[in-house]
Structure 1
Amino acid sequence: MLTLRNIRVWDTDEIIDVKVDATGALFEAGAANVNAAHGDADIDATGLTLAPGFADPHVHFRDPGQTYKESMTSGCAAAASGGYTDVLIMPNTVPAMDGEPVSDPDAPGAAEVLATGRTDVIDFLQHYAADHDVPLPVRYDLCVCASKGRAGQEATELEHWRRHMSGVGDEAKDADQLAHPVTSISDDGSAVTPQTLDAVFALAKESGLPLIEHCEHHDTGAVNEGPVSRELGVPGIPEDTELRIVERDIAKARETGVHVHFQHVSTAISFDAIRKAKAEGLPITCETAPHYLSLSDEALLKYGTLAKMNPPLRSEADRKATCEAVADGTVDLLATDHAPHTMEEKERGFLDAPNGIIGLECAYGVCHRTLVDGGYISDRRLIELMSVNPMNLMGHEATDITALLDRETDASREPGAKRLLDLTAVQDADGIGLVVLATDAAWAVDPERFHSKARNTPFGGWNVTGRPLATIIGRTLAFSRL
């Protein structure tokens, strides 16, 4: 057992002790208290913060079909290392996560699914830990494709995936199906196409799930249109490619009442449109990502294709507008868009290199440096943006530490005495997710120490502040660098 002494609760400042089962935890190399896995250990946690675990509703784990980039095992380990207890897996797997039966054994990725005896990618991912006999140290939900094969030609069929939703036929589901429901719809990587738009909104309306929209579309271009694209000699992407999708989907939300959540918003003009929609009372939410807060397109000159994204990094004015949108509450949450690629793929040049970076293992530090140290928001607000609000989008509740303490505290405790949260004795611990944070810790990002298979990040070597030191799921320590 591991006991953390004198740790501060993030939203009340109460000082408590916490006891957790450390057996089987993933300890980072060099952690001082690995003996906690084999016996009892006490740690003085004075100065550390206990918060609800981070949640990321926008990750790509590349399993099945591209496990040379990332697997469920490595992706979940990366998430736990970054302080995340819950993630939402995007549907651009291979085959796509559209609920369609996998029938052609020669199709890319199909053999991986069929080898487990599962019929489709949703079943494959729901039963991944049991079928592969591996522990997965975070909880995860699944996002179903908006269109079949994510091809944008025909909307998916509700009868092929509705059974995977929470609350639909739960009495017939096994524990793995119950633990990993479908909670949203998206064609992430691409915006919903005009030819499927009405049908996809009808799917969202009937299912009650939010549409998580990749709010950007371009047919040409590789980086943001502007002085940097011209200096690089690379075709540019105008900023209104994002705005057009935002305005189109706001209009559909007004018409249908469907909740639209815009991913990785990156331009001032899009934030203006979202502000107006929210003021109108429309069911619109949005996120941005650490890289849009911390980098402008000028980073392309320093980091090359490691800074190639979709949407692309925008101007410095847009970067500042993104920080302001976080500060004024226009941005509802922060998500990483964790997108693993091999370095070989990233070295193909601006026209051919894939878009995206990994982000789970340094997101908190990068965001803390930019937003908290930069004076935009408080430590407490950053936790809300990385934990409470993402959990709400996914249809879950972040762990209320004070409510848990009130429920679990021994009634015979002396009045005013420090409270103990003994997680090992909690009866119903399934929904508990916690992170231990060193909010002021200074550290350098070293991608070679990442638990992800991938290394495609421009943040390598950055000096940041704020670091997750431990991740707790239920009664158990999932990850520790204490």
Structure 2
Amino acid sequence: MMITLRNIKVWDTDEVIDLRLPADGADREIDATGLILAPGLEDPHVHFRDPGQTYKESMASGCAAAASGGYTHVLVMPNTVPAMDGATLADPSAPGASEVLDAGYDNVIDYLQHYGEAHGVDLPVRYDLCVAASKGREGHEASDPADWGRYVPGVGDESTWTDAMRAHPVTAMSDDGAAVPEAILDQVLANLKATGLYLIEHCEHHDTGAVNEGPVSRKLGVPGIPEDTELKIVARDIAKARETGVHIHFQHVSTAISFEAIRQAKAEGLPITCETAPHYLALSDEALLEYGTLAKMNPPLRSEADRQATIAAIADGTVDLLATDHAPHTLEEKALGFLEAPNGIIGLECAYGVCHKVLVDGGHISDRRLIELMAVEPARLMGHEPTDVAALVEAWSEPAPTGADGTREPGRNRMLDLTRAGDVDGVDLVVLDTARAWTVDPERFHSKARNTPFGGWQVTGMPLATVIGGKVAFSRL
């Protein structure tokens, strides 16, 4: 069975084509005028809570949420329970350990690489793994390459790898949720340099405080977190990148002073990249007064001036990409109050709409640039090339019919039929309706979690179909 989309626009050439996709049910033909065909969205910063906290999210529910949001590839962070550090699990009574051991694996990396096989499920989204920078993510001792190096492309013996290992390699390192401590930073960077990985740095550290320091924290009577808690880590790590040449990628940057430091580091030619998240460009700390702990995160939402600086850094290219920092928690946990509630919000299923509403509808960037920020640049950070849609069309589309004079017949487009194209295993696409207005409804999310301040928001821009390996993984068509 087939879906034929008539008059869909290719994102980077503006050519209008017809697209034929394999689908369940009867053959259908849809007028896709105004829709855009783009490389699939990618996210190098997600938390799927599996193993150890699957009451919040699982690999299955997290991947379903990603596919629903238009994402075709994600990078899973290491703050699992036990932490994803590659170490053999010796104590079956440790939190989360039984989930791994009972499935027949002795460490978290092996377990997540073979998750589909272990659970008899076909996960709809591609994913890579990010190894912990410190043992147990405890910050005391650098994790050991002897535990995780065999899972790294170009380091491990790939002739012994299973298909699952090839599909889900370790491609980055982080102690996500905490900056790498000063005491082990040099050893961590040495491990990175020896294995060719890059550091995904939680560029913020504070020992006290729950929300951004300022008028809102004082109004709430909650201890504040100064903005320089972010800059101190950013400046420290920029100096280390200059010294070592190791690529450092800063997560969820949130302050004007940090963006300026990163801007200067890039002008110097240092191996620095950075991301921000939809909530930092859409919300300031004033949102805490309306949404309470649903808007509590780390780093905290900052001032309105910092929010505007975030948008400016996106517009001028200082920000390399947008990542969700998808962080599921239960509403019961979030109801514990500002001092006790966990940090973070979910984001995969509304990120495109929120970013489109603020950035494109707001006149700051174009539709094309938003696709670069959410698809092309994240893919390149993770070490693979996004699907070249224009090249795919050129190589595999059927020529448009021509008239007697050799010109294309009016109203007839080239047809890209993915069932007749060559090797489509690497073809990952998203069909976007950039004009679709919709209301964010967390109760309709595929994630197990509902912790978002964006419930009820009116946004524009919706992923209508997610295509992975040439096949429809999710559809609203």
TM-score range, shorter chain: over 0.9
State the Cα deviation string for residues 221-277 of structure 1 (Å, max 9, x = none). 000000000000000000000000000000000000000000000000000000000
Change (3 A) 1:72 1:276: same
2-structure distance, mates of 1:170, 1:409: 35
- Could you tell me which runs of 5 or more consecutive residues in structure 1 were left unpaired when the two chains were aligned: 23-36
Partner of 1:25: none
Q: In the alignment, does 2:222 pair up with 1:234?
A: yes
1-structure distance, mates of 2:400, 2:413: 12
**Aligned with 1:217: secondary structure?**
coil
Partner of 1:4: 5
State the Cα deviation string for residues 139-169 of structure 1 (Å, max 9, x = none). 0000000000000000011121111112332
Query: Where does 1:98-109 land on structure 2 (aligned, <5 Å)?
Result: 98-109=85-96
**Aligned with 1:282: secondary structure?**
coil
Q: CA deviation at 1:409?
A: 2.8
**Aligned with 1:196: secondary structure?**
helix
1:141–1:181 CA contact under 8 A, matched in 2 = yes
Letter in 2 for 1:57: P
Partner of 2:419: 424
2:203–2:251 CA contact under 8 A, matched in 1 = yes
1-structure distance, mates of 2:118, 2:238: 41
**Matching residue within 461, 466, 474 for 2:461:** 466
Q: CA deviation at 1:430?
A: 2.0
Q: CA deviation at 1:410?
A: 4.2
Q: In the alignment, does 2:434 pair up with 1:439?
A: yes
**Matching residue within 122, 129, 136 for 2:123:** 136
**Matching residue within 327, 331, 344 for 2:332:** 344
**Alignment RMSD (CA, Å):** 1.1
**Matching residue within 249, 258, 263 for 2:251:** 263
2-structure distance, mates of 1:2, 1:64: 37
2-structure distance, mates of 1:84, 1:346: 26
Q: CA deviation at 1:47?
A: 1.2
Partner of 1:371: 359
Partner of 2:149: 162
1:129–1:135 CA contact under 8 A, matched in 2 = yes
Q: CA deviation at 1:18?
A: 1.3
2-structure distance, mates of 1:478, 1:186: 29
Q: In the alignment, does 2:279 pair up with 1:291?
A: yes
State the Cα deviation string for residues 148-193 of structure 1 (Å, max 9, x = none). 0000000011121111112332221111110001010000000000
Letter in 1 for 2:22: D
1-structure distance, mates of 2:398, 2:221: 67
- Could you tell me which runs of 5 or more consecutive residues in structure 2 were left unpaired when the two chains were aligned: none
Partner of 2:240: 252
1:426–1:475 CA contact under 8 A, matched in 2 = no
Q: Percent identity?
A: 72
Q: CA deviation at 1:422?
A: 1.4
Change (3 A) 1:170 1:412: farther
Q: In the alignment, does 2:261 pair up with 1:273?
A: yes
2:399–2:414 CA contact under 8 A, matched in 1 = no
Runs of 4+ residues deviating >4 angstroms? 410-415
**Aligned with 2:443: secondary structure?**
helix
Q: CA deviation at 1:39?
A: 3.1
1-structure distance, mates of 2:393, 2:264: 40
**Aligned with 1:97: secondary structure?**
coil
1:70–1:454 CA contact under 8 A, matched in 2 = yes
Q: CA deviation at 1:398?
A: 0.7
State the Cα deviation string for residues 277-312 of structure 1 (Å, max 9, x = none). 000000000000000000000000000000000000
Partner of 1:26: none
Q: CA deviation at 1:217?
A: 0.3
1-structure distance, mates of 2:468, 2:16: 21
1:204–1:211 CA contact under 8 A, matched in 2 = yes
Using structure 2 for the length normalisation, give the TM-score: 0.97
2:247–2:272 CA contact under 8 A, matched in 1 = yes
2:400–2:414 CA contact under 8 A, matched in 1 = no
Partner of 1:32: none
Partner of 2:174: 186
Partner of 2:382: 394
Q: In the alignment, does 2:109 pair up with 1:122?
A: yes
Q: In the alignment, does 2:170 pair up with 1:146?
A: no
2-structure distance, mates of 1:18, 1:351: 51
Partner of 2:446: 451
Partner of 1:92: 79
Q: In the alignment, does 2:29 pair up with 1:42?
A: yes
**Aligned pairs, number:** 468
Change (3 A) 1:197 1:7: same
Partner of 1:71: 58
Partner of 2:38: 51
Compare 4-13 and 323-332 and name the one that shifted more.
Answer: 4-13
Query: Where does 1:216-231 land on structure 2 (aligned, <5 Å)?
Result: 216-231=204-219
